[in-house]
Amino acid sequence: MENAIELRELTKTYGSRRGLTGLSLDVRVGEVFGYLGPNGAGKSTTIRLLLDLIRPTSGHATVLGLDPRADGVELRRRVGYLAGDFVVDGRQKVRDCLRFLADLRGGVSQQRIDDLSDRLGLDPSAPIKKLSKGNRQKVGLVQAFMHTPELLILDEPTSGLDPLVQQTFLELVAEAAANGQTVFMSSHIMDEVEAVADRVGILRDGRLVALDTVAQLRAGAIREIEISFAEPVTAEEFAQLPGVHDLVLDADGTTLRGQLTGDPDALVKAAAKHHVTALRATEPALDDLFHAYYAEAEAAPRPTAATV
């Protein structure tokens, strides 16, 4: 099995409201896939369709080679899921809740549950109804990871967590990937996805507007550049280079500023014909790429066909 998730022209509408429109996407076995978009973009809708919690208006989804509707019981044995609005019976203590969920899974060692709880700083004796949102989220993380599932589907997994626990979560994701598990992780927090994701999909208004590795997304992004020379240069010798634009030369002709898109090789070779005293190029953050794709999508005409 090459792909853990396959989506083909998946569409979901809620009356006149759009959920997803013609979403086609493959998530490979063993990869960490970051699914990005603001609230309302369609991330949770996608996840609920994967788990047959809702049904598509049209299109098809395959998860671990199975049909979520026809093979739902078998599929759920092999998946760890954290909902974006994780809720359990508040009358239970943490330990009793996790033990109950572990038994539903067919049995998980108590040591595994205790280890995860300890790493996340979760008090097993605490009543769930008295937990903060962040601590309830920890319960959700433990129940998702504890049975070492083939596929982890995590919807906004760090919601409410403090920065130290967020880092522990990222370590758990990295360990799962090293163990050969697949992780499908929705988020609107760019830094956490950037830290662990092999590939990223960016969703806007139910449509996929970008799909690639973080490195490749960055390769097509705009970088701000600044090059200082020992002697004056002319802007003309750099202006026609591929990917270089908006050049400005300072008054004494020794500092060149501008923007670069794509491969910097031609610019570096041209600059190397002179004595370079300093060179700076900003590395675009995933957050900047995310907003850039949203701005491009906003400016582009809306497609009429339900395709991605």
Segments in the chain below pLDDT 70: 219-220, 283-308
Nearest to 140 by CA among 81, 96, 185: 81
pLDDT at residue 192 in the model? 76
Residues 6+ apart with CB under 8 A from 31: 4, 177, 182, 183, 198, 199
pLDDT at residue 205 in the model? 85
Please give the CATH architecture assigned to the domain spanning 222-281.
Answer: 2-Layer Sandwich (3.30)
Domain 3-213 belongs to what topology? Rossmann fold (3.40.50)
State pTM to two decimals: 0.78
pLDDT, tens digit, 9 for 90 and up, residues 154-181: 999 988 889 899 999 999 999 999 999 9
pLDDT at residue 307 in the model? 34
pLDDT at residue 121 in the model? 95
Q: Which residue has the tokens 């299109």?
A: 59
What is the distance of C-alpha 248 from the center of its chain? 36
Contact 243, 260 (CB under 8 A): yes
Parse the chain into domains and list their residue ranges. Answer: 3-213, 222-281
pLDDT at residue 187 in the model? 84
Contact 160, 134 (CB under 8 A): yes
Cα first-last separation, the chain: 24
